[in-house]
Each structure stands twice: as structure tokens, then as C-alpha cells.
Structure 1
Amino acid sequence: MRGHISAYPVCAYKSYTGDGEFIKIDGCVFVKLPDGTTEKVEYTSKALEEISNIVGKLTIEKKDLLEEFVTMQVAFAEKLASGDLKQSPRAGDPLFYCSIIDEEAERAEEEKAIARKEAMKRGTAIYVRFGAMPKGGKSYNYRDNISEDGVSVFKAVLSEDKTQVWINIHSQHALGTYLTVCDRQLYRVYGNVIGEGSDGEPCIKVTRSIKIKNAEIEVYSAPVDE
């Protein structure tokens, strides 16, 4: 599992108030951890220490370059604050980006993927569909306002013990379809492939369909012809 660190340049803003001129210092590092949480670290003398405390035992790729960049920006911020400098870089995109790695979680994900691949080899290739079969034996393509050649289905694999179904989400369009229908009853569909749907999915002339009950559903991505 990975997060990231985005380091932004220092920016200075001159403003004028009734009390006179002042400079606002703005520059920071955003630390987004693998769990999705984000922490903001201002450019101060303790910036690297704060980043280290946030990241903890996780691994930082390009750590030496990150330290060099942040140290440079902190020094720049201190000079701006003291009035030694009157200009600063323009605000904009982050100048530095690196990854934070939860190596233990990443290793666990890799092991899970290997185990899944091996389990799928022992499983049975099937076709599945969310929701009952459409009347007339053809799915309707609402995007193009036409009927498909047959019933749109997903390619999937049923585990050896029939407790797991791995569904192939082969494209962004297929993912969109999956997200709109995945709360419906899952069916195993039997029949012959007679065409291809608008998302590149198989279309089947259905001969039989049965409900899949008490099976865990997991998605993966692979070319649809595999």
C-alpha cells in the first residue's frame, strides 16, 4: 500500500494594513498516508521531524532528496520571515513528490494476489450477471439507445468450493456498469456467446440462469479475451 508526500514551494505575500506592511509566509508539505489520511506540515525548523513522526515506521522513497528539498525550503522561509529576501517562487504545482510505502501491507497484498491467481486456476470459468434476465433475451444499451445482440454478462471465475466469485472488470466502462448494478442479485448465466456489448463485454444467448447465493464477490482486472 502506498501514500505520497507532496512538497510545495514557499510563497510570500506582501500586504498593507493600517498597522503597516507585513509578509505572510506560505509553504508546506502534504503527507498522505496509505490509509488515506492526510497531514499538513508547514515549513519550519521542525518540518522534517514532523514528517518523520507522521510517517513512523513506513518507508519513504527518495528520502534523501526529500530531506534536501525540505531543508532548502525551510531555509528560504526563514530568510523571508527575517526580511533578508523580498521575493519568492510563484505558487503552483508541487516541486517534489515521493511515495510512502507500507511494506508489510504491500507484501500482504502481493501474497493475496498470488494466492488468488492460484485459486482461480483451480476454479471454473463462468459468466455472471447482476439482476434477472431481460425480457426478450436482450440487454438494452441506454447510452446508444439500442438493444444488444444478447444478454450482457461479466466473465468470472467460480472457486473450487463455490464460496468465491471473481468478476473481471476489464475496463473503466465495465467498472461504471458494475458500480450501478452490483447491489442486485448475482446470477450464473449459461448459454452461447453471440456478440459483444458496448463495453466490450460478452453478450450471450441465455439457455439457463441460476442465483448465486452465499458466495463472496471480488473483482479483478484482466483483458476480456483472457
Structure 2
Amino acid sequence: MDLQKEQYATIDREGYWDTPTPHDVVRDVISSGQRVYLRFGGLPSGYSRNHRDRSVEAGISVWRGWVKGTTAVVDLRQCDGLSAALIIGERARSVYVVQGKEIGQGSDREPLLDSDTATARKVPIERIVLLLT
């Protein structure tokens, strides 16, 4: 991945836009961090909802990403642009690393996990980098 050509935005844990994260920090998190599913806010009881039309998804919406220390990189390159807006809108919520069986794709092209197998643990994240393109 050529981070010089990638576009990304950085927000802090309070939900404010932050100074851009240096390319070498992002590269380090991606190359040596833990590859995970991320969720902003806890697991829903049952299934996730599509915020656009209030329909129910077939599972629990998560985002692919990496975590290292207190930095999370969220991979939004294959997702609908609205997905990025939703994450940014919910950025001040707690960050969870989620495990479970991937069963498909949500309406914003995000991964969906089986609600029966999904488990989550809260992680102390100080900086969230949104990988956009």
C-alpha cells in the first residue's frame, strides 16, 4: 500500500479532527498492528440497522482495520462514502474490537458478522485514522 497516494483523515478520541497522522505511523499500525474488526459503540441486541433507511441488516456491522497501542486505522476504501460519514458522526463513542464469523456484506459494503458468534471488547483508542481511498 502506497500511503503517499492514500487519503485519510484523523480524529481524536473526543471526536475532533486532529492533525494528520504521519505516514510512517499509519504504515507501522498497518504493517505490525493487529488486523481486527472494529465497531464504534457496543454490540446491538440482535442485528444492526441501516441508518439510511432504518432497515435491519442481516448481521452486525463492523469495519475492517488495524490496532496498535492506542491508534486504530479503519479501512473505508471499499465502503460507501456514507459509511465514512457515519463513523465520523459516531466518532466519540467507545471503540470495540469485535470477533465473530463474517457472513456477508452490509448495505454500505461493510462486513457483517453473525450475531450469534459476535463478541466485543472495549479498547482504549486515542487516535482513529480513517483510510478513505
Report what 2:33 is aligned to: 123
More helix by share: 1
- AA aligned opposite 2:72: V
Report what 1:211 is aligned to: 122
Shift of 1:208: 1.3
Please give the TM-score of this superposition, normalised by the length of structure 2.
0.72
Report the Cα distance in structure 2 between the residues aligned to 1:110 and 1:139, rounded to whole angstroms.
31
1:133 corresponds to which of 35, 39, 43: 43
Unaligned runs of 5+ in 1: 1-108
- AA aligned opposite 1:166: V
Distance 1:117 1:180, change over 3 A: same
CA RMSD of aligned residues (A): 2.3
Report what 2:70 is aligned to: 163
CA deviations over 1:63-98 (Å, ceiling 9, x no partner): xxxxxxxxxxxxxxxxxxxxxxxxxxxxxxxxxxxx
Equivalent pairs: percent with the same residue? 27
Report the Cα distance in structure 2 between the residues aligned to 1:183 and 1:111, rounded to whole angstroms.
18
Distance 1:174 1:123, change over 3 A: same
CA deviations over 1:12-33 (Å, ceiling 9, x no partner): xxxxxxxxxxxxxxxxxxxxxx
Distance 1:188 1:111, change over 3 A: closer
Report the Cα distance in structure 2 between the residues aligned to 1:142 and 1:186, rounded to whole angstroms.
19
Q: In the alignment, is the contact (CA less than 8 A) between 2:66 and 2:73 conserved in 1?
A: yes
Q: In the alignment, is the contact (CA less than 8 A) between 2:66 and 2:74 conserved in 1?
A: yes
Q: In the alignment, is the contact (CA less than 8 A) between 1:167 and 1:217 conserved in 2?
A: no
Higher relative contact order (CA 8 A, sep 6+): 2
- AA aligned opposite 1:209: A
- Structure with larger Rg: 1
Report what 2:110 is aligned to: 201
Report what 1:13 is aligned to: none
Q: Secondary structure at the match of 1:210?
A: strand
Unaligned runs of 5+ in 2: 1-18
Report the Cα distance in structure 1 between the residues aligned to 2:82 and 2:99, rounded to whole angstroms.
23
1:145 corresponds to which of 46, 51, 54: 54
Please give the TM-score of this superposition, normalised by the length of structure 1.
0.44
Distance 1:117 1:131, change over 3 A: same
Report the Cα distance in structure 2 between the residues aligned to 1:131 and 1:115, rounded to whole angstroms.
25
Report what 1:26 is aligned to: none
Report the Cα distance in structure 2 between the residues aligned to 1:124 and 1:143, rounded to whole angstroms.
31
Q: In the alignment, is the contact (CA less than 8 A) between 1:130 and 1:185 conserved in 2?
A: yes
Shift of 1:118: 3.2
Report the Cα distance in structure 2 between the residues aligned to 1:130 and 1:111, rounded to whole angstroms.
20
